[in-house]
Amino acid sequence: MREIVRQYNKVELKLFKAMQDLGLIFFSQQPIYVSKDRGYVADFAFPSVRVIVELDGIHWHERTAGQRAKTERKNEDLTALGYTVLHFTDERVNREAKQVAQEIFEAVRGKWGEMPGWNFLLRPWRE
């Protein structure tokens, strides 16, 4: 797990702002523990509805077979814990951050509908 708090890169910041504009309430750089001594850091998370958003830049996730395998294991581990993991490329977020944020909004709203009483995830004036 990453131990150091870091600043957002430009793509993360762009999506952060687009999600805020839609009224989404989320956590960023959220630790998700798989076991007592192993876990991951999600780019963005909605833990109460078990949705995780990952931004995939080729530099970090797809350059080598080892990186791809690590990403696949992370997905498998998080899915096994009941999370829905949404992946978006950096390029797509750069091109259409508002559309990506809308897709995330719909995914969170869909999961929220499965869990009555969790309406604090969406600000009421956005419904």
pLDDT, one tens digit per residue, over 11-48 is 999 999 999 999 898 999 999 999 888 899 999 999 98
CATH code for the domain of 96: 3.40.960.10
Q: What is the reported pLDDT for 124?
A: 46
Residue 2 included in any domain: no
- Pairwise CA distance, residues 13 & 32, whole Å: 21
Q: What is the reported pLDDT for 96?
A: 97
**Structure-token pair, residue 91:** 């390029």
Residue 109 has pLDDT above 90, yes or no: no
Domain count within the chain: 1
Beta-sheet pairing, 51-56 with 84-89: parallel
- Pairwise CA distance, residues 38 & 43, whole Å: 17
Q: What is the reported pLDDT for 2?
A: 46
Longest dimension (CA), the chain: 45
Residue 127 included in any domain: no
Residue 21 included in any domain: yes
Which residues partner with 109 through β-bridges? none
